[in-house]
Structure 1
Amino acid sequence: MKNINRFLENSHRTDLRGFNMDLYGRKDIVFEDNHPDLRRQGAKPEANWAPPSPGLPGIFILGHDTNVADVLTLTLTVEGKDYPTVDALTVTRHRWTPAWTDTYYRTPVEKDVYPCAGTLCLREKKCITRRDVFCGEITLQNALRETRHVKIGVKMPFTWDEQAGAYPFRCTVATAAAGGAYQVEGYAAVCIDGKPGCVFETELAAFSTVTFRYGMTIRPEAVEAQQAVQEVLCQKDPFQANEDEFNRWFDTYVPRLETEDSDLLKVYYYRWFVVYHGIHNPVEIIKDHKIPRSSIYESRYGGWFGGPIGLPVPWQIEEAKWMRRPEFLMDHMTNWMENLVLYQGYIQFSPWAIWHAYQLHPDKKWLEAHYEDLKKYMATQVDVDDPQPRITVGSWGTGAEYQPSFYQHTDILNGGEKWDWRCDCEGHDVLGGFPVSKLYRLDEQTYTIVSLKGCEALAREIGQAEDADKFRRAAEKLSGIMLEKHWDEKTQMFYDCEVSQNLKCDEAACYDSFAPFMGGVAGEKYHAAFEKLMDRNWFRTDFGATTAAKNCPAYWPDNCIAGPVESSPENPHYYPCSWNGPVWVYANSIVSDAFGCAAVQNTSLRADWLNYFTAVTEMHFPGGDRSTPLVTEQYRPDDGASNSVINDYFHSSWLNPFIQYYLGVRIENGDVTFDPFTTEDFTLSGVMIAGKEHTFRQWHDEEGNVRREVSPKP
């Protein structure tokens, strides 16, 4: 497939994306109470996006979320009558691709002019280039038998500087993920048909057509900004040029997949699109930015999480390691090694992911340069000379707020009832000094163990045998403790444990009950746990696994806490990131990987893994529509409706389990294995492993036998 841009085309999305400059087009979260038509029509894919509008109205991203909205809007005047371009024009046709959008609008019906339709058609094609230049092309078509005077103005929320021929630009970028607040100052150049200016006027003859281009960019100096805009506007076809550049990026960085499964093909290239637009280099815009090189964001939009966040960093590394060229991956891992801003925040297993990435893109000099950084991080997680299980204080630091296992034993803490959700950070800090629950958590224990295993392997790569042995012994000791302490023989499940009395949270099985299978820490002896994963009375849904088992007294499928104590379905406690039941994509990344590791060992699990992964893939199609794949944070378990407001949210992994398990391409200690779980025909080509390009092909011969081929041969 050559044209990925057109393959991802749809008519629902309305966002516009450059490298550091974006128009964010998400509507409010879709709930029944403010969308009563959903009861009759169901959730539509277009409900995820604001309607198309000319220019750049709405939330403006420049490196990160900014305090500027409606940064570039258009005014339309026909024969002295003003038409609001955002609210008054009717959208009659719309196309979206990652590289450009193309939209037709029509003026409102005026019964005294023509009672059946508006009489002016405005078409706008627009893009933001990889160098953050906005370009728009407007075509006006007169649908009357008379000449009309038409004027279009380009407005910015600043004062035009006549001498500079540009708008003095100033905005504040403030997000915790960026390390604070920054001021961006410079000039926003606006050009029409290559010349500085903000008004286009024409006498539009009967049934005639006129086209002009306009553009905008932001640079430190006005002349520099004008030149950047003019270079784009004078291109023969800037939109095709932007499409060509987008497709070149995919040719350069993405292994090519061929398969007859259209769902998998669509999600495969969509998830690479998520990687593509998760990569930014904000220091190009914000000179004093605390991250001096490119990075991968959790989200472009958001006052807290609009940038790199520690929780998903290992999943992002696992996804990006499959890039054919590693420069963006190496920058991301270097940022983590240097502990920039929030890179090492939350709980995570980045050393394990870095080891996996290193096997595809080995760089011994880089590893030697950052080895002490790696050791320094592990020293904050565990004393390798005396390893003890980590205690998790409250659910906030895990990124899994209100996970029910924290509350099964709250009666021990407060002398009151079990399941008191107030015994957490919010209850302590906001609601009145409640005690904060503590757990020995399965995901945090597992993350520590696999991180130690990753450090061991990386240490051996550069001859640090003594350190490697320490990492190994610590991992072995912690593994033994976890498997003995957290496994429940009666129910055949792993559970988190309460700290003070070492009580299992055996009424609160959660997604991290499957974390011990990551990296093969828990072996075949424990594989009966996956029967619960596939049981619809426990975790199974049509869209992946729930974050908490459905038989847990604190389970609730929506984005709130609804009991069993101190809240109820009639009087819920709303919280936008509740992990007490909704299907979180992050949680399903853990389950996909853990289940896949187990199915590598135990082939009898592979059919169930494929069934489960099909459900995770289905989660990417909002409303069931195949044209517009989308990943957000979390979903309702019963109907797959999104519970989240942020689109293309990059805090999960789909590409890695798809390639490693579904397609069966795995690398361990330098050895390449080709062992697909699927029996379907496919070809994955252009996979770079240690500098060599590989192709993996599976097909059926004339007798119906499955054949496999790796080129070059391992």
Structure 2
Amino acid sequence: MMLLFFNSTTQGQVLDKQLMLDRFDFWQNKDWAWYKENIPFFESPDSEIDKTYYYRWEMMTAHLVYGSPETGYSSTEFIDRPWWSGRYGAISCPAGHQLYEFRWLKNKRFVQDYASYWFNTLGAQPRNYSNWLGDAIWQSYKVNQDKKFVLGLKKQLIKNYEGWEKEHFVEEEGLFSWDGMHDGMETNINSRQTKDWFAGSPGYRPTLNSYLWADALAIRNIALLDGDKNTFTLFNQKAQTLKKNFLEKCWDPKRNFFFHRFQNDEEGGIKANTLTYQSGKYAGDLHGREQMGFIPWYFRMPDAGFESAWQYLMDPNYFFSAFGPTTVEKGDPLFNVAKNCCAWSGNAWPYATSQTLKAMANVIKYYKQDYVNKADYFKQLRIFAKTHRKDGKPYIAEANDPETGSWQGHDVIGHSEHYFHSAFVDEVITGLVGLEPKETDSIEVNPLIPDEWDYFALDDVNYHGHQVAIIWDKTGTKYNKGKGLLIISDGKVIASSPVLKKLAAAIDFKPTLKMDRTVNYAVNNETNQYFPRAMSSFPGIGNNIYQKINDGQYWYYTST
């Protein structure tokens, strides 16, 4: 696979990049030049977080796929492409997480190719699973401010949203409905009460309704960029109506949480338009809380007044565990930690952990509440970092035991080794370091680091076309750039504080050089279309010689 770079620098403003890479011995992809050209570098006093940060970048290189000269780059979820994946192995379920991660690569071609892939590639399957593609594309714009690119996707984003409405919007309720399987949440506590225990029955869920509220806002904001008042007004109204209906109909004030709401009558006495455990076998049970109930805060969807949901996250009687929040509260009558894949009734799920971390950071920064604080955030982030281990080495799979951290039963060969269905880099950059991208000519930093830290550095971030570094140097002697919290842009300090606090500064958009659009005609993902062309007298039963030899991937991991 050919990995290109663009408008990047091998030298940071603060950190020695090679020294940062040499700190760890887990590397299987040792393309040092690519890392130096493309990723922001990070250093902190916590080696576990640092190790996982760099591992996540290496893991991403294993999932980047050069699909074709027409499509460019996309990403896989499973390194070994499963039959249910779309063209070139992409699956829409984790695409929001993946785009949030890719937006920090200095070569914006990666994130832009992948964003475009979903709407311009035959077989991409953008609505096979619930996702927040529109929001992720808008959030990527807030990092690189490529107005031409994001406006070029406006029509496709509108068409995609209309597809969601046609397929899943229930007019009389004003909400979107789907089952848990298509959230990537098979065998959950709601599906297990229905005839189809694996997929479940349709319902109004915190997932899809939050995602499409955020997508509507994204389309509204993109429309504003080119003065499209009609589209702005239309999608602003869609977002307002969806939010109103969701907050009114999916919140239970008795249990202080957002829940799945059944669309139809189901077996066992479950009634349409009731929340989890308001009807059926477990009617009246005061449990039923699922981790997905935190998702609305990922997008800052709830108004003030719903923060009481967060009282349960850090409580070991509910969601808190040694190796990640459980997908269902522990006292639930259907709570179960499964030893097999595709079961979300108790296991810790990195996909949801990432969502919870971002939601948690938003609650701490933007809502008045006393349920969670920055010490809690760091505790959860560090747990997530340490969960990325197997036999002492960096690793991630589909799910883990929340009490032991074991991946057993969830990482069989060829299934989910080094699985790309979550985010971590973005949580470090936007949560821990606190860089909150803006669509305006500004930069804001609001760290959630521990009070006892004497230093950290995030270096060589491509933000609005500038080379940005953010450092905390309590004494001024660690990096010799100044004392306290500093924002550095293109070598100049543009904001500083002697103490940890929210910092903001003006930063304009700096146009970059034209992107390198070099193509690779040798990748040959398309059978008999490009060269080289491979032939074999016997490729093996059920094997495709083109896919095996010319699949556009380079396999770094010897364990897969």
Please indicate the TM-score interval, normalised by the length of the shorter structure: 0.7 to 0.9
Aligned residue number for residue 505 of structure 1? 276
* Matches of 1:695 and 1:676, distance apart in 2: 14
Residue by residue over 1:345-371, the C-alpha shift from the partner in whole angstroms, topping out at 9 and shown as x without a partner, is: 200011001001011112222223322
SS in 2 for 1:317: helix
Match of 1:677 among 448, 473, 478: 448
Aligned runs of 1:523-538 on 2, under 5 Å? 523-538=303-318
Deviation of the 1:8 alpha carbon: 4.0
* Matches of 2:201 and 2:43, distance apart in 1: 49
* Matches of 1:693 and 1:343, distance apart in 2: 35
Aligned residue number for residue 73 of structure 2? 294
* Matches of 1:313 and 1:343, distance apart in 2: 11
Aligned residue number for residue 116 of structure 2? 334
Gaps of 5+ in 1: 11-96, 100-242, 285-290, 408-418, 427-435, 561-575
* CA pair 3-277 structure 1, distance change in 2 beyond 3 A: farther
Deviation of the 1:7 alpha carbon: 4.0
Q: CA RMSD in A?
A: 2.5
Aligned runs of 1:343-382 on 2, under 5 Å? 343-344=125-126, 345-382=128-165
* Matches of 2:65 and 2:461, distance apart in 1: 24
* CA pair 259-305 structure 1, distance change in 2 beyond 3 A: farther
Residues 1:709 and 2:486 are matched in the alignment: yes
Match of 1:401 among 186, 191, 212: 186
Match of 1:689 among 456, 463, 476: 463
Residues 1:660 and 2:430 are matched in the alignment: yes
SS in 2 for 1:294: strand
* Matches of 1:6 and 1:340, distance apart in 2: 42
Aligned runs of 1:552-701 on 2, under 5 Å? 552-559=332-339, 576-602=341-367, 604=370, 605-623=373-391, 625=392, 628-642=393-407, 643-645=409-411, 646-670=416-440, 671-678=442-449, 679=451, 680=453, 681-701=455-475
Structure 1: which amino acid aligns with 2:345?
A: N
TM-score, normalised relative to structure 2: 0.73
Structure 2: which amino acid aligns with 1:596?
A: A
SS in 2 for 1:635: coil
* Matches of 2:170 and 2:143, distance apart in 1: 31
* Matches of 2:175 and 2:203, distance apart in 1: 10
Residue by residue over 1:614-639, the C-alpha shift from the partner in whole angstroms, topping out at 9 and shown as x without a partner, is: 2111211225x2xx211111001110
* CA pair 607-305 structure 1, distance change in 2 beyond 3 A: farther
Residue by residue over 1:126-160, the C-alpha shift from the partner in whole angstroms, topping out at 9 and shown as x without a partner, is: xxxxxxxxxxxxxxxxxxxxxxxxxxxxxxxxxxx
* CA pair 532-340 structure 1, distance change in 2 beyond 3 A: farther
Aligned residue number for residue 458 of structure 1? 222
SS in 2 for 1:592: helix
Gaps of 5+ in 2: 1-16, 265-271, 278-286, 495-504, 506-560
Deviation of the 1:695 alpha carbon: 0.9
Aligned residue number for residue 514 of structure 1? 294
Q: Is the CA contact 2:220–2:233 (under 8 Å) kept in the aligned structure 1?
A: yes
* Matches of 2:103 and 2:235, distance apart in 1: 24
Aligned residue number for residue 312 of structure 1? 94
* Matches of 1:592 and 1:620, distance apart in 2: 15
Structure number with higher strand proportion = 1
Deviation of the 1:328 alpha carbon: 1.1
Deviation of the 1:607 alpha carbon: 2.2
Residues 1:271 and 2:56 are matched in the alignment: yes
* CA pair 339-471 structure 1, distance change in 2 beyond 3 A: farther
Q: Percent identity?
A: 21
Aligned residue number for residue 159 of structure 1? none
Residues 1:388 and 2:140 are matched in the alignment: no
Q: Is the CA contact 2:40–2:460 (under 8 Å) kept in the aligned structure 1?
A: yes
Structure 2: which amino acid aligns with 1:437?
A: S
* Matches of 1:388 and 1:559, distance apart in 2: 38
Match of 1:2 among 7, 12, 18: 18
Aligned residue number for residue 9 of structure 2? none
Q: Is the CA contact 2:187–2:198 (under 8 Å) kept in the aligned structure 1?
A: no
Q: Is the CA contact 1:541–1:615 (under 8 Å) kept in the aligned structure 2?
A: no
Structure 2: which amino acid aligns with 1:692?
A: H
SS in 2 for 1:688: strand
Aligned residue number for residue 149 of structure 1? none
Aligned residue number for residue 557 of structure 2? none
Residue by residue over 1:504-526, the C-alpha shift from the partner in whole angstroms, topping out at 9 and shown as x without a partner, is: 11442111111111221113411
Q: For the pair shown, which has the larger CA radius of gyration, 1 or 2?
A: 1
* Matches of 2:63 and 2:107, distance apart in 1: 16
Deviation of the 1:665 alpha carbon: 0.7
* Matches of 1:608 and 1:456, distance apart in 2: 34
TM-score, normalised relative to structure 1: 0.58
Residue by residue over 1:640-674, the C-alpha shift from the partner in whole angstroms, topping out at 9 and shown as x without a partner, is: 10042222110111111111011111113333111
SS in 1 for 2:330: coil
Deviation of the 1:589 alpha carbon: 1.6
Q: Is the CA contact 2:79–2:417 (under 8 Å) kept in the aligned structure 1?
A: no
* CA pair 324-456 structure 1, distance change in 2 beyond 3 A: same
* Matches of 1:651 and 1:558, distance apart in 2: 19
* Matches of 1:618 and 1:497, distance apart in 2: 35
Q: Is the CA contact 1:335–1:343 (under 8 Å) kept in the aligned structure 2?
A: no
Deviation of the 1:543 alpha carbon: 1.4
Deviation of the 1:446 alpha carbon: 0.6
SS in 2 for 1:682: strand
Residues 1:442 and 2:206 are matched in the alignment: yes
Q: Is the CA contact 1:364–1:462 (under 8 Å) kept in the aligned structure 2?
A: no
Aligned residue number for residue 168 of structure 1? none
Structure 1: which amino acid aligns with 2:437?
A: I
* Matches of 2:397 and 2:93, distance apart in 1: 15
* CA pair 339-453 structure 1, distance change in 2 beyond 3 A: farther
Residue by residue over 1:524-547, the C-alpha shift from the partner in whole angstroms, topping out at 9 and shown as x without a partner, is: 411111111111111111111111
* Matches of 1:251 and 1:578, distance apart in 2: 39
Q: Is the CA contact 1:492–1:528 (under 8 Å) kept in the aligned structure 2?
A: yes
Residue by residue over 1:68-114, the C-alpha shift from the partner in whole angstroms, topping out at 9 and shown as x without a partner, is: xxxxxxxxxxxxxxxxxxxxxxxxxxxxx424xxxxxxxxxxxxxxx
Q: Which moved more, 1:591-600 or 1:361-370?
A: 361-370
Query: Whose relative contact order is higher, 1 or 2, with alpha carbons under 8 Å and at least 6 apart?
Result: 2
Deviation of the 1:341 alpha carbon: 2.1
Aligned residue number for residue 141 of structure 1? none
* Matches of 2:21 and 2:309, distance apart in 1: 42
Q: Is the CA contact 1:395–1:403 (under 8 Å) kept in the aligned structure 2?
A: yes
Q: Is the CA contact 1:660–1:666 (under 8 Å) kept in the aligned structure 2?
A: yes
